[in-house]
Structures are given as structure tokens and as C-alpha cells.
């Protein structure tokens, strides 16, 4: 495998760009191939079997495009599929999990809040993170239906988005939370709004930089990391053919990239069979 092959990254929509941007900052010599599965966004309210099938389909496509590693840039998809993907594919697969451990370690009040999708809140993987790392600390899970969709519509500071954030934060702040985990990769795009509503005494935990460092470690271990100065490209693909979806990718990426629609074969219903 050539080190010049791209890193494959996918998410249910545009949220995983928060991970892709961190990867690009840390490793600008790496080419990126990003898929926003916006036709099926968000994953947080989809059945687990559907999420698994989409993850298999998108990973298979990225592998076919020569990806040397895959980043599942979605907390919901990671918790639901990453173990199955690793069974099915031989290349490194790096996932994203809510940053419960750093939040617990950094909390002064001993009360941590996790903002996440319904699926992430309900996932046994989330409960396992809490069991492993919470200790005597309280970890409060707050499902945030509708919040990822606001990011997908680029409503990053509209009155309705602010009201939604305020509604989800109110019970957490009343419980004494001093640390908030952004448990969906869409939510970092709302960081200024969330920070404003939470107040200066609340720290926000975003795992994007930690994920980027893990990707770098895996590439180094395999000898697949490009040396500085290599010519790299960024391709952003959307499973939604609407030009507005592509414009959204370009806007949130914020720098030069090739933006296009995903191949039709990957845009429709899941095509692969889940491994037994």
C-alpha cells in the first residue's frame, strides 16, 4: 500500500468535517476523501441495522477508492458499527467516541454532561464508557434531537437553534455540570453558541484533535504517513445530489477542496450484507 493513498472519512452528514479539519491541520500532507451521507442524515434516529449497512457500503466504497485507513467520523456510527467494520475490513479503522474520560478528569464539580444523539445516548457503548471512566462522578446524558439537523441546514446561530440549545442545557446546568462533552461531530460547529449559553464556567470537550492524533499514530505504526511537503488533495463527496448539499460542504470546510456528488451506487439503500 502506498503512503500517498488517501485517508477515507465518512459521517452521516457534514458533522464529520470537524474531524476532517483536525486531521488536515495535523497532517496537511495527507490526502483526504470525505463522504457526507447527507441523503440519510442524521443517523441518530435510524435503526442500528440501517446504520451498519450504510457504514459497510461507504467503507467498501472508500476502500475501492484506495483509502489506506478509514475514520468513522460519527459517534453514533462508531458505537454501532466500528467492531463489525474491523471484522470485515483489513485496513485501520479509527472511530470517534464521546470524550467522557477527559471530561471526568477535568471536572471540578464532579458533574459532567454529554450532549449526543438519541442513538448515542441509548448505546451500550456509551454506558460502558461511563462505567469505565466515571468513578464517583455523575455523568448526565442529554439527547439532542434536531440539533444535528440545524447544522445540516447551516443554522449555526439562528434563534430557533439557540432556543434548542438552551432547552437541552437547562437541566444540565441546573444539576451543576461544569464540563460538557460534545458527543456528536456536528456539535463543534455550534461551539460558540453552546459556550455562550453554557457560560464561562463550563468547559466544552471536543475529541477531534485526539482522533487526529490517533490517526497519525496508526499511520506511523504502519509506515503509511506521508512526509511533510507532499502534495495532498481534499475531495468532499455528498450522497445528496442537491447542489445546496455540496455548497454546504464547501462552506463548512472553509478552504479549497474538490466537491462533488457521491456515485449513485452508494446513494441509495444499503447494498452489502452485514457480516455474521
CA angle 67, 265, 241 (to 5 degrees): 95
Q: Which residues pair with 70 in a beta bridge?
A: 8, 93
Dihedral pair phi/psi, residue 65, rounded to 5°: -90, 5
Picking from 60, 91, 58, 88, the residue whose alpha carbon sits closest to that of residue 74 is 58
Residue pair 222/248 in contact by the 8 Å Cβ criterion? no
> From the candidates 144, 184, 266, 267, which is the catalytic residue?
184
144 included as an active-site residue: no
Picking from 150, 141, 81, 87, the residue whose alpha carbon sits closest to that of residue 112 is 141
Count of CA atoms in the C-beta half-sphere (13 A) of 272: 20
Cell of 195: 459556550
Element (H, E) at 194: helix 191-198
CA distance 192 to 196: 6
Cell of 269: 439503500
> From the candidates 74, 144, 266, 267, which is the catalytic residue?
74
74 included as an active-site residue: yes
Active-site residue set:
74, 184
Amino acid at each position: 500500500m502506498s503512503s500517498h493513498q488517501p485517508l477515507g472519512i465518512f459521517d452521516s452528514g457534514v458533522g464529520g468535517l470537524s474531524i476532517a479539519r483536525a486531521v488536515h491541520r495535523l497532517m496537511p500532507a495527507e490526502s483526504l476523501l470525505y463522504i457526507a451521507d447527507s441523503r440519510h442524515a442524521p443517523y441518530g434516529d435510524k435503526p442500528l441495522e440501517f446504520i451498519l449497512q450504510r457504514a459497510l457500503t461507504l467503507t467498501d466504497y472508500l476502500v475501492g477508492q484506495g483509502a489506506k485507513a478509514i475514520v468513522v467520523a460519527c459517534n453514533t456510527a462508531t458505537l454501532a458499527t466500528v467492531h463489525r467494520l474491523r471484522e470485515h475490513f483489513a485496513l485501520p479503522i479509527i472511530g470517534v467516541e464521546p470524550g467522557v474520560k477527559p471530561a471526568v478528569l477535568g471536572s471540578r464539580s464532579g458533574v459532567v454532561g454529554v450532549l449526543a444523539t438519541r442513538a448515542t445516548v441509548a448505546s451500550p457503548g456509551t454506558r460502558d464508557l461511563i462505567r469505565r471512566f466515571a468513578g464517583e462522578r455523575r455523568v448526565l446524558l442529554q439527547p439532542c434531537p434536531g440539533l444535528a439537523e440545524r447544522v445540516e441546514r447551516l443554522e449555526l446561530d439562528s434563534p430557533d437553534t439557540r432556543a434548542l440549545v438552551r432547552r437541552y442545557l437547562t437541566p444540565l446546568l441546573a444539576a451543576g455540570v461544569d464540563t460538557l462533552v460534545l458527543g456528536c461531530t456536528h456539535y463543534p460547529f455550534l461551539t460558540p453558541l453552546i459556550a455562550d449559553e453554557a457560560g464561562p464556567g463550563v468547559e466544552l470537550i471536543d475529541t477531534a484533535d485526539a482522533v487526529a492524533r490517533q490517526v497519525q499514530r496508526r499511520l506511523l505504526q504502519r509506515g503509511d504517513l506521508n512526509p511533510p511537503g507532499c502534495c495532498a488533495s481534499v475531495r468532499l463527496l455528498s450522497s445528496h445530489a442537491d447542489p445546496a448539499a455540496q455548497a454546504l460542504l464547501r462552506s463548512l470546510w472553509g478552504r479549497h477542496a474538490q466537491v462533488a456528488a457521491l456515485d449513485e451506487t452508494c446513494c441509495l439503500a444499503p447494498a452489502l450484507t452485514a457480516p455474521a
